[in-house]
Amino acid sequence: MADGSNKQHQNAQYSQTHNSQTQKFSNFDKELQSAPKQVLLTVHSALREKGYNPVNQIVGYILSGDPTYITSHLGARSLICKLERDELLEELVTFYLDSVLGD
């Protein structure tokens, strides 16, 4: 029983010393939203530097999930593998529709 009251006391102390509202890191949110864009730009540059057609290679990766479509130059393969393919596709479709529709 002493353990239970001790934990309650610790929880009460924690609540008093820590803000109970959730903190939001707005810069972190922006970084997460721009991550697919930055990855695609880096991968594009790496593919172009190595003499590949970036569009064909990125499409091949998105459709198949096979990371060998992406060069390891500039760490492009490891970067693109950190994101889900649907995130990349969402970024591409969003960019395309925004540019076509003028949003």
pTM: 0.66
* Stretch 84-91: mean pLDDT: 94
Residue 7 confidence (pLDDT): 59
Cα–Cα distance list, 38 to 8, 26, 41, 42, 57 (Å): 47, 18, 5, 6, 17
Q: Which of 9-13, 35-39, 49-53, 75-79 has the lowest mean pLDDT?
A: 9-13
Return the domain boundaries, the chain.
36-103
Q: Is the pLDDT of residue 30 over 50?
A: no
CA-to-CA distance for 20 and 35, rounded, in angstroms?
Answer: 30
Sorted by sequence, the CB contacts under 8 Å of residue 83 that are 6+ apart come out as 35, 36, 39
